[in-house]
Structure 1
C-alpha cells in the first residue's frame, strides 16, 4: 500500500462478489474487447492456436482489439456507469441485477373464501352438513366428551370427518403455542449470552480505511523501528516514480 501511495497510485477495495455491478472493466471495457477480438478472428477463418502461425494471429488480433476497446471514452464510461466517479450511489442500487423480481403473484383459488385458509374452509363446508356442531377441543376432558358423543352416533361420514378436523385444529394450536414459547426461550437465552463477559474478538480493519491512514501507519512503523526510513529513496533514479495519476481497483 505504501509503495502505491508514494507513486500516486490510489487503491480502491470493492466489496466481495460485486464485480458484476461495481467493476468498471466489467461494465465497459471487457465487453467491447470481446466484441472487437471476435471481429478480428472472423477475418481469419482457418487458424489453430497451437501452431506458431496461430499464436502469431492471436497476438495480432488481440493487439488490434485492445486498441479498439481500451479507449479513454470506454474507460470513463465504465466508471460513470458503476457510479464510482462521478459518485452516484443510485446507479449500482438501481442495477437490474440487484432489483427484485417484480412478477405478479399467482391468483388465489376462487374456491377458497377471501381471508380464509384451506383448512378453515374445509371445516366450514363440513360443519354445514354435519349432524353435530363440533367445537375445537382445547382440553383433555373436552376431547373425551367429543369421543363419548361420537360413539353414540351412527358414524356419519361427514360428522366423523368434521370431528377429526376439529381435533387436528386443536393439535395445531397447541403446536403453535409451543413454538412461540420456544422462540421466547431462545430469545431470552440469547440475551443472557450477550450480557455474559466474553473474550473480545479482533476487529478486521477495512482495506480502504487502512490505505487512507497509510501515512500515519508508516510513520508509526518507522518510529517503532519495525521498518527503515526510506523517505530519501525518492531521489534514487532506480526507485520507481510516476507523477501521473492511476487508479487500481481490487476486488476481494
Structure 2
C-alpha cells in the first residue's frame, strides 16, 4: 500500500548473481578488466559477470614535507582563486569598475585562505608535518560468472590464452580464500579452509541409515553348554 504523494524510490541494480562460479583470480584490477573486456568483444553476455575485490587494504602515499611556509603559501593560493571567482560573479551584477572589484576580492580571499590554513595546521600541533594521498585497494580480484554460462566463458578465455584452462594469476601467499570459496559453507555452520575437502576437513562422518558403520572389535562369546570351544578344536 503506497502513501499518496510519495514517489517510489528508484531501484538500484542488485550486485548479485545466480549461483556464481569463479572464472579466474588476478592480482591487479587491470587484468580482471581485460578478461571481461575480451568476453564482451566476443559477444558474451557480460551482464552475467561480476568482479569482486577481496582483502582490502589502505595505501597512503607521502607526497612531501609540510611546514609553515608551505601551509601559508597554499592557503594564500587557494584563497586567491576563491576570491577571483567571487570577484567575477560580482562584476556581472555591479556597475563599478570590474578590475577593482576582482583585485579586492583576490586580496581578501588570499588573507582569508592563509588565516584558515594557519589555524588548521596549528591544530595538528606538529603531529602531521607531511602531505599525502590515500587510496583503498584490493589485494586480488576475482571474476565470477553465472553457472549457466561459465563453460562458454572458459572456452572463450581458452582461445585467448591458447589453452583450455581459465586464467589464474599468482595470488598472495597465505591462507586466503576467494569470494566464491567464502560463499560455500561446510556442514554444521563451519567453513572449511581454502583448497580443502569439506568432507575430510570435518573428520569421519556418522554412517547413514542402512550402511554399516565402523565399530570396535568384539570379544568372542564364551561357548555354550555342550559346544566345543575353538581352542579345543585346534588341539
Please give the range of the TM-score, normalised by the shorter of the 2 chains.
Answer: under 0.3
TM-score for the superposition, normalised by structure 1: 0.24
Q: Relative CO higher for 1 or 2, CA cutoff 8 Å, sep ≥ 6? A: 1
Q: Which has the larger share of helix?
A: 1
Q: Which has the larger share of strand?
A: 2
